[in-house]
Amino acid sequence: MNKYPLWGNLLIVFILCMGALYALPNLYGEDLAIQINGARGIALTQKEITQIDEVVKPVCNTCNVEFENGQALIRFKDNDTRLKVKDTLSKNLGDNFIVALNLAAATPNWLRQIGGRPLKLGLDLRGGLHFLMEIDMAEAIKKIINQDIQEIRTELRQEKIRLSNVHANGETIEVAFRDANTMNQAYDVLSKKFTNKVVTQEEKNNGAFVITLTIKPEALRDLKTSAVEQNINIIRNRVNELGVAEPLVQRQGADRIIVELPGIEDSARAKEILGATATLEFRLVDASADIQSAASGIVASGDEVLTDRDGRPVVVSKRVILTGDHIIDAKSGMDENSRPEVNISLDALGGSIISDFTRDHIGSAMATNFIEYKVVESDDKTANNGKPKFKKVEQIINVATIQSRLGTKFRITGLDSTSEAHNLALLLRAGALIAPIQIVEERNIGPSLGQQNITNGINAMLYGMIALAIFMIIYYRVMGIIANLALLFNFVLLVGLMSMIPGATMTLPGIAGIVLTIGMAVDANVLIYERIREEIRAGRGIQQAIHLGYERAFATIFDSNLTTFFVAFILFMVGTGAVKGFALVLMIGLFSSVFTSVYACRAIVNFLYGGRSVKKLSI
């Protein structure tokens, strides 16, 4: 009686060893390091690694460039060499690399090979910035509706169908025609072209023939999703420009994005870069317009007046040739005659649009309009559901003459200086956020407070465990010592599991969760031991008492842990940030504590007392 089969014992030992193995990386500290990423989130290639290696070697010949997940890492023993190497790298590598100082986990190679890594610490433990950003969906939809209107015009013009009027009415587009025949023709074309919309035609009472295009709900949902995803990509690129180690950019809910920047303290600068909700568009300059009358606001019906950086008016066509979201890359450089230029790459669609347009407009001037959104200060709190309002600020940043028909790659020349070229490239590259964003939550924890939190957490854990261990030994003697062993196993297993799970973050409430699970893990032991005592009092033999104690207490332990698990799960689902971390620890802790208190502990009891006659149980 009271013997586990060999495989059972081996399984328990195996699980505990795995837990210990994966908890091991937490014992190693961190190395000083330099991290090199490709600009705009582009993964580095082997060729670029060799390039980095060539730059590093003359300064530090013992340095080794590690290449992992498309980024390079160099570890250092002392900070002086690190700073020296960083200066050299920043100077020599150029625009395409982002060089940042970082700390890298000093996990030995063999552990890293099997996927071992230390716990990821949350912002409340390591310090840093947390932002929650909200996307202005109304603006995103408006923008897309306007694009659609352009497309409707182009499509109907190609089919030589005359329309009398087209305008947006909220989320629907209304196209008016002179007679029923034209409307029917247009209906065929439009309903074929716009499959993501519900297209209806009707004759209005006032004699107008109107086609209404309404976006389908599922298309609207896709549209919102892609708006969020596009913004996430752009923010990720901007975060990379900040040179942060291990940043987090993640979608939350329908229209929110979480940004976490560990180790960043300068919130003003971070916000400036993240909040720069800029978009770009190319428009044709109307050279025939009279600048004098334009200055006073009088222009032709298809034109409008915008201003350049120096405040001079520029008359441009209202029609947008191309928006900035088609720009893949923009680089500053020198042309054959060593004059500054900016090279622009477009995506395929952008390329074909610009190619079609410029074919007919060689010699005309094209303006680059830079659009920023700034928050409007509004008195009316109820407007727009209390959400922030945005104001559109437009500025012409460049006017260039179209020299030839353009394709997916073209360049802007005739710039005044290299720095102007550099800035223009940066602005073009900043990408286009499809909709303006606004920070709705910000949390900033200083690094010293983070360190203090770690110390507090570890102290609480240590003293709590010691006090608990002493109590268990006094109250249950030898069996108490066994419970304490189970407690230790539980701790190691919990840390191992948390380190193993990708994306799991340890937060201050998470540490509290560990402390709490340790206290709760003992509960299972108490239930079993009390039951064993009771069975012994009832006159049973020691072996049977142990057997029954475990067997009868188990249902109770299972039930009670399961309900706590339910609650932890609900908390995990609704919680965010630190609370989610706590819920995760609690859930994993419940699993590991049942395993260690019931099975691992039983294995020890079986080993000590099982299968032989025991006169007295030290309980």
Partner 1 sequence: MSRRCVLFHFLLATNGLNWGLDFTGGVVVEVGYPSDVDLNKVRSSLEEQGISGAVVQHFGTSRDVSIRFQPKEDASQAELTEKVRLACLKVNDNAQISRSEFVGPAVGEELATSGIVAIVASLVVILLYIAFRFDWRMATGAVISLAYDVIVVLGFFSFLQIEYDLTVLAAVLTVVGYSLNDKIVVFDRIRENARRLHKMPMVDLFNLSITETLSRTIITSGTTLITVLSLLIFGGEMIYGFSLTLFIGIVFGTISSIYVASTWPLLLKISRENLIPMEIKKDIGEDDEATYGLNR
Q: Looking only at residues 206 through 225 of this chain, which bind partner 1 when binding is defined by CB under 8 A?
A: none
- The percent of the chain in helix, strand and coil, each rounded to the nearest 5, is 50, 25, 25
Number of residues that bind partner 1 (CB under 8 A): 82
Instruction: Find the part of the chain contacting partner 1 (CB under 8 A) among 38-46, 278-286, 505-513, 592-600.
Output: 505-513
Is residue 332 within 8 A of residue 421, CB to CB? The reply is yes
In terms of CB distance, is 334 or 393 closer to partner 1? 393
**Helices vs. strands in the chain: H and E counts, helices first:** 17, 22
Closest contact distance (angstroms) between CB of 122 and partner 1 is 12
Helices (H), 24-45: none
Piece of the chain touching partner 1 by CB under 8 A; list 19-27, 47-55, 71-79, 445-453: 445-453
Q: Which is nearer to partner 1, 86 or 130 (CB)?
A: 130
Give the nearest distance from C-beta 253 to partner 1 in angstroms: 9
- Among 564, 591, 599, 607, which residue interacts with partner 1 (rule: CB under 8 A)? 564
Task: Count CB neighbours of 157 within 10 A.
Answer: 11
Q: Rounded distance, CA 340 to CA 222, Å?
A: 41
Instruction: Give the Cα separation of 358 and 361 in Å (integer).
Output: 5
- In 3-state terms, what secondary structure has residue 338? coil
Regarding 512 and contact with partner 1 (CB under 8 A), the answer is: yes
State how far the Cα of 418 lies from the Cα of 95, in Å rounded to an integer.
Answer: 14
* Rounded least distance, CB 471 to partner 1, Å: 6
Query: Under the criterion CB under 8 A, does residue 555 sit at the interface with partner 1?
Result: yes
Q: Which of residues 265-324 bind partner 1 (CB under 8 A)?
A: 267-268, 271, 275
Shorter beta-carbon distance to partner 1: residue 191 or 444: 444
Inter-CA distances, 543 with 1, 527, 550, 612, Å: 7, 17, 11, 8
Binding to partner 1 in span 570-589, by CB under 8 A: 570-571, 574-576, 578-579, 582-583, 586
Provide the minimum distance between the beta carbon of 593 and partner 1 in the complex, in angstroms, as a whole number. Answer: 12
- Examine residue 474 and tell whether it contacts partner 1 (CB under 8 A): no
Using CB under 8 A, which of 219, 526, 608, 614 touches partner 1?
526
b/e map 588-612, b = 16+ CB within 10 Å: bbbebbbbbbbbbbbbbbbeebbee
> Least distance to partner 1 from the beta carbon of 426, Å?
21
CB of 6 or CB of 538, closer to partner 1: 538
Q: Which stretch binds partner 1 (CB under 8 A): 23-31, 99-107, 344-352, 463-471?
A: 463-471
Whole-angstrom Cα distance, residue 35 to residue 33?
6
Beta carbon nearer to partner 1, 116 or 509: 509
Smallest gap, in angstroms, from Cβ of residue 363 to partner 1?
A: 43
- The least CB distance from residue 534 to partner 1, in Å, is 8
Alpha helices by DSSP H, 501-541: 508-537
Q: How far is the CB of 508 from partner 1 (least distance, A)?
A: 6
Strand partners, 370: 280, 395
Query: What DSSP line would sit under 103-157, residue for residue?
Result: EEE---HHHHHTT--PPEEPHHHH-EEEEEEEE-HHHHHHHHHHHHHHHHHHHHH
459 or 618: CB nearest partner 1: 459
Residue 138 engages partner 1 in binding (rule: CB under 8 A): no
Which single residue is written with the structure tokens 């005592």? 533
Q: Which string of x and - marks every residue 75-104 that binds partner 1 (by CB under 8 A)?
A: ------------------------------
Decide if residue 13 touches partner 1 (CB under 8 A). Answer: no
Nearer to partner 1, 289 or 586 (CB): 586
Q: Which residue's CB is nearer to partner 1, number 304 or number 530?
A: 530
Please, what is the minimum distance in Å from the beta carbon of residue 588 to partner 1?
14
Name the helix (H) or strand (E) containing 472.
Answer: helix 447-500
Among 340, 431, 509, 549, binds partner 1 (CB under 8 A): 509
Stretch touching partner 1 by CB under 8 A, among 56-64, 74-82, 468-476, 496-504: 468-476
Nearer residue to partner 1 within complex by CB, 15 or 527: 527
In angstroms, the first-to-last Cα distance of the chain is: 19
Q: Does 393 participate in binding partner 1 (rule CB under 8 A)?
A: no
> What dihedral do alpha carbons 376, 378, 381, 384 form, nearest 10°?
-40
The yes or no reply on residue 465 touching partner 1 (CB under 8 A) is: yes
CB distance 193 to 155 below 8 Å: yes
User: Which member of 441, 477, 611, 618 binds partner 1 (CB under 8 A)?
Assistant: 441
- Name the one residue in this structure whose structure tokens are 């809910």: 253
DSSP string across 371-420: EEEEE---S-SSGGGG---EEEEEEEEEEEE--S---SEEEE---S-HHH
Contact criterion met (CB below 8 Å) for 132 and 441: yes
In the chain, the amino acid numbered 168 is A
Q: Are 2 and 610 in contact (CB under 8 A)?
A: yes
Helix (H, G, I), strand (E, B) or coil at 43: coil
Is residue 446 a contact residue for partner 1 (CB under 8 A)?
Answer: yes
What's the token pair of residue 616?
């007295």
| 30, 164, 475, 618: residue in contact with partner 1 (rule CB under 8 A) | 475
Regarding 616 and contact with partner 1 (CB under 8 A), the answer is no
Q: Which of residues 358-387 bind partner 1 (CB under 8 A)?
A: 375, 377-379, 381, 386-387
- Tell me: does residue 515 bind partner 1 (CB under 8 A): yes
Provide the CA 405 distance to its chain's centre, in angstroms: 39
Asked if residue 141 binds partner 1 (CB under 8 A), the reply is no
**Least distance CB 551 / partner 1 (angstroms):** 7
Distance CA 69, CA 225 (A): 26
User: Which residues on neighbouring strands pair with residue 506, listed in sequence order?
Assistant: 121
Stretch that binds partner 1, among 18-26, 58-66, 422-430, 454-462 (CB under 8 A): 454-462
Residue with tokens 């983070």: 450
Q: Which residues pair with 200 in a beta bridge?
A: 212
